[in-house]
Chain A
Amino acid sequence: MEFSTPRGMKRPVRLSEETRRFAADSLDRKYGLDTLKTKAVVLDGIEEFSDLSDIEQYDLAIRMIAETAPVRICEGEKISGAATLGFAIEHVVPATLNGDWIFPSISHLTVDFETVLKRGINGIEQDAKEAFEKYRGTEKEPFAKSCLSCLESFRLWHKRYLGALDAADGYKSNAENLRQVPFKPAGSFYEAVQSIWFTFAFLRLCGNWPGIGRIDVLLGDYLKRDLASGALTLDEAREILAHFFIKGCEWVNGQYIGSGDAQHYQNILISGVDEEGRDVTNEVSYLVLDIFEELGISDFPTTVRLNENTDEKLLRRVAEVMRYGGGILAVYNEDTVVSAFVKAGYELCEARRFANDGCWEVQIPGKTYFTYIPFDSLQILQKKTLGEYEAAPDFDSFDELYEAYLSDLGERIEEIYLTEAKRFEEQDPFKWKRAHPCTVVSLFENDCVKRGLSYIEGGPVYNVTSPHIGGLADTVNSLFAIKKLVYDEKKVPLSDLMKILKNNWEGEEALRQYALNRYDYYGNDCDEVDSVAARLLSDFADICTSFNGKCGYSFPAGVSTFGRQLEWSHGRLASPHGRRVGEVLAANCSPTPDTEYEGATAVIRSYCKADLTKLATGAALDIRLLPSSVDGDNGLEALISLLRGFVALGGFFMQPDIADASVLREAQLHPENYRTLSVRVSGWNARFVTLDREWQDMVIKQNEH
């Protein structure tokens, strides 16, 4: 059994043959296909269903899910619980009425597993009972009641698993663990892993896609105790934890074609500092790296929190695992993230608790409502500021153009603010609750239960809506090309350039080539253009934060495209930096494809010139490395140095991938031979063969040098 890599390197073997087989089966869709067999529970024909309130309907749906979702016990699994309803994979509550789903679900949050481990579900139930007493007879009663109902459903589902495990041969430990957790506090490493998994599986079964958070912080002490007492060996712990990751692949089914079948916002973090600034790295951090190195699985994508003082041993291990390619590992520079959070108003010790939201945007786990609103900044420039190239005002100077653009950008952000702020300013704040019941995630988000408010109606401690600027490099390069062509070198008047662009550079190949080739664009460490990027990001962040405090949401800035550059390409016109209509342009904070020729270090330097601490919800840089550049001992040193440099220069988040374009092309031709081949797409990983052609081509292009 071989676990493929985009680079053809041999992976080490540490896990048992059974566990490796379990991984191979999962990646080969065995359980993912099984999940598709039952799509949802059916709410048709329930008497007086339509008389129930939305939240009562939701509670009933959750109850039916708990009572009737298939129970799955995988052969040889060390931990149990499975999200077995197919519609959950489509990000909805898997319950249908007249053939259609009726409740959306929640993602982009990392829930509070710490409380689950330390107090157990019983602890949460105690809070819910108190809240119910408190809010009885008030407008909050329906939510408080819903909390109790969903907890009861969870208990039902739990009982079904216990029964099934007791009845099956060979699952004694699983059953023993489940008798303790997740309802009672976890007492051992094995129980703790089972507790997180079972709770996570229930959340997913109900359609939600939460992230997991800092797994080494959550599990480290349990493992330390068990190793010290001799209750567990490190090898045993690795096996148990491997099952957690393998079960994370239970939705891999090859059916969710498009952006890949493994993107369920279930990221994990390792390493970094705790509230007091002490390094949290422990044996669990290293076990996670061992598991990725061996299995090359696409779940759960994991981000390592690095800082100036990151231990050389950890960094070397991270680089070693990263070298296999596949992009399962990304890095935060927590010095920048923590500074950004403090700037955004969080206490330092709170800021240090940051995790991702399941993707790479950052938040305080277990107490944050988070949403981001993406928009294409290039489209604003093309369509608004430059009037679709038909009605561009005759700007006298570049600064005049820039100011006009900023004003249009501001309008867009205000529009986002007004739409989002309404959720808090609505006459009837409970309208949202009725439209989007989300009690199951609310149980695990502080302080929804205690406040008697759900996740989306202000229950969490922090409520964050973040405008995300996309098309950054393309906008910067466009502005810069206009600055050079029109104002600095006066090669062409603005009005003529507009006509040329409107005509998609038709008949102007020499000028197009000039614009393409004669300027250094963003990503080459050229101060002249990078300063435009830095200025734009800073101005954008200032506009966003000017809305802070005006409603229940904070309004920090972020940068992302994820994969949206694909769909955006259809709505864009030709660009001043020599690009024609329809070309797919830059991702996240990365340079426009084919404009960076100074190498990875120059890309990082360009990116780091902006004050990234003003972008509190994240600014991702995708980096593709040439396989030969990371080969051998020298290559390993180079990769370590690259990560260190990223931190030293003040980067925020970086997702490197090392894939050989020729291997990817081969996989495109012979998908049957590359079922386990995983690549970094954007904020997620995907098995390459489950990407559709357009996405595959984009990833291949990104890996060509």
Chain B
Amino acid sequence: MHDGPGVRTTVFLKGCPLHCEWCHNPETQSPDPEILFYKNKCIGCGNCVNACPVGAHGADGFDRKRCVICASCAEACPTGALELCGADMTVGEILKTAERDRAFYGDAGGVTLSGGEPLAQKNAVALLEACRDVGLSTVVDTCGYADRETLLSAVPLTDLFLWDVKDTDEDRHEKYTGAPLEPMIESLNIANEAGARIRLRCILINGVNTDEEHYGRLANIARNIKNFDGIDLIPYHAYAGTKATFVGRNDSGRADWIPTAEQVARANRIIRGLL
């Protein structure tokens, strides 16, 4: 119930061209299936060691370099500490899952494509088309990293874009997300020109993008959107760091990045004042 209006089924499309340091879905960055490991659930039963055909599990833990993602360990794990994340699904299979909640969608609810970066997958358009065919409302949560053609196909099939503008400062954007800012803004312009309904979603990170210049630029972007749905400021959450450990990275969570309630209120006040 968090990803757009009403009750929604969110489809996470794996794979993201960005690598934001604060990424809250690190398990969806890689386009390939991955084994997630929740250390706190492990009871040390050793089933994974026996099940693994390549010796990736052992007394020293889980050696991801050896892992071939066969998921035998996840199959054998009794506690769910090891879990396969990601699967190939057809549009039909996804729709079938989404249809289960049909009774709850009403006029507002439907399907949300999230990720990862959903528009990095060309099949996203086919999925949107299929949703449209069966009368399910569509929301796309994107950072705009998509080619022009995909974007232009997606716009008429999408009821609402949740558009993530991570930062408006070129250097910072490149530094923290690993991608330049300019193509993102270009995409936003393309979608805007094509008449997309857009809601801005902007992460707020203490000490990174909590400056008034950024707020001013965000308001500027918002004002230029013709079919504007609103803007949400989303405070950074350190839980994202814990999630990174599930895919074998260090806990990247940073307590100092969490903005205070006053900061969030101030940012909201400034931006709304400029709209």
A interface residues, Cβ below 8 angstroms from B: 509-514, 516-518, 525, 599, 601-602, 604-605, 626, 628-630, 633-635, 637-638, 640-642, 644-645, 648-649
Give the interface centre of A509, A512, A601, A649 by most chain B CB atoms within 10 Å.
Answer: A601
State the CA gap A657–B23 with chains docked (Å).
31
Chain A neighbourhood of B108, CB < 8 A: 634, 637-638, 641
The interface residues of chain A lying within 8 Å CB-to-CB of B47 are 510
Q: Which residues of B contact A640 (CB under 8 A)?
A: 6, 106
How many Å lie between the Cα of A626 and that of B1 in the bound state?
A: 9
With contacts A641-B105, A648-B103, A649-B103 known, is A635 near B1, CB below 8 A?
yes
The listed residue (A516, A599, A605, A638) touching B6 by CB distance below 8 A is A638
A605-B7 contact, Cβ under 8 Å, with A509-B43, A510-B78, A513-B78: no
Identify A517's interface contact among B5, B6, B79, CB under 8 A: B79
**Does B65 sit at the interface, judged by CB under 8 A?**
no
A509 x B45 contact (CB < 8 A): yes
Whether A634 contacts B103 by the Cβ 8 Å rule is no
Q: Given that A637-B108, A642-B104, A645-B104 are known contacts, is A517 also in contact with B2, CB under 8 Å in the complex? A: no
Given contact pairs A513-B78, A517-B80, A641-B109, A629 touches B1 in the complex (Cβ within 8 A)? yes
Q: What is the bound-complex CA distance between A604 and B7, given in angstroms?
A: 13
Identify B5's interface contact among A509, A605, A629, A637, CB under 8 A: A637
8 additional contacts (CB under 8 A) given A514-B78, A601-B101: A510-B45, A511-B78, A516-B79, A629-B1, A634-B108, A637-B108, A638-B109, A640-B6
A637 close to B106 (CB less than 8 A): yes
B1 touches A513 (CB 8 A): no
Interface of B is mostly: loop
Tell me whether A510 and B105 are in contact (CB under 8 A).
no
Indicate if the CB atoms of B109 and A517 lie closer than 8 Å: no
Greatest chain B CB density within 10 A among A513, A514, A518, A629 is at A513
B residues near A635, Cβ cutoff 8 Å: 1
A160 to B7, CA, bound (A): 56
B219, chain A: closest CB distance, angstroms? 20
Given A510-B45, A642-B104, A645-B104, A634 contacting B1 (CB threshold 8 A)? yes
CB distance from A213 to the nearest CB of B (A): 30
* Distance between Cα atoms of A648 and B109 in the complex (Å): 15
4 smallest beta-carbon distances between A and B, as pairs = A645-B104, A514-B78, A513-B78, A629-B1
B45 to A518, Cβ gap below 8 A?
Answer: no
A121 to B72, CA, bound (A): 76
Q: Which residues of the partner chain B approach A633 to less than 8 Å between Cβ atoms?
A: 5
**Judging by beta carbons under 8 Å apart, are B100 and A605 in contact?**
yes
A510 and B1 CA atoms in complex are apart in Å by: 34
B4 close to chain A: CB less than 8 A: yes
Interface residues of B (CB under 8 A from A): 1-2, 4-7, 43, 45, 47, 78-80, 100-101, 103-106, 108-109
What CA separation (Å) do A33 and B136 show in the bound complex? 56
Smallest Cβ-Cβ distance to A625: which chain B residue: B1
Hey, which chain B residues are within 8 Å of A638, CB to CB?
A: 1, 5-7, 108-109
Evaluate contact between B43 and A641: CB separation under 8 angstroms. Answer: no
Q: In the complex, which residue of chain A has the Cβ closest to the Cβ of B232? A: A632
- A500–B6 alpha-carbon span in the complex (Å): 46
**In the complex with contacts A517-B78, A601-B7, A638-B7, A645-B1 CB distance below 8 A:** no
What is the CB-to-nearest-CB distance from B207 to chain A, in angstroms, rounded to a whole number? 25
What B residues does A525 contact at CB under 8 A?
100
Q: Tell me the complex Cα distance, A644–B6, Å.
A: 11
Asked whether, in the complex, the Cβ of A644 is within 8 Å of the Cβ of B104, the reply is yes
With A601-B7, A634-B4 in contact, is A518–B80 under 8 Å at CB?
A: yes
Q: A510-B43, A601-B7, A629-B1 are in contact. Are A641 and B78 (CB under 8 A)?
A: no
Q: Let me know if A634 and B80 touch, CB within 8 A.
A: no
Q: Are A513 and B79 in contact (CB under 8 A)?
A: yes
Determine the distance from Cα of A525 to Cα of B4 in the docked complex, in whole angstroms. 23
Q: Do residues B1 and A630 form an inter-chain contact, with CB atoms below 8 A?
A: yes
Contacts of B45 in A (CB 8 A): 509-510, 513
In the complex formed, the residue of A with least CB distance to B105 is A641
Inter-chain contacts of A512 with B (CB < 8 A): 78
| A641→B4 CA distance, assembly (Å) | 13
Q: Could you write out 22 A-B pairs with CB less than 8 Å apart?
A: A510-B45, A513-B80, A517-B80, A518-B78, A518-B80, A605-B100, A629-B1, A634-B1, A634-B4, A634-B5, A634-B108, A637-B108, A637-B109, A638-B109, A640-B106, A641-B7, A641-B104, A644-B103, A645-B7, A645-B103, A645-B105, A648-B103
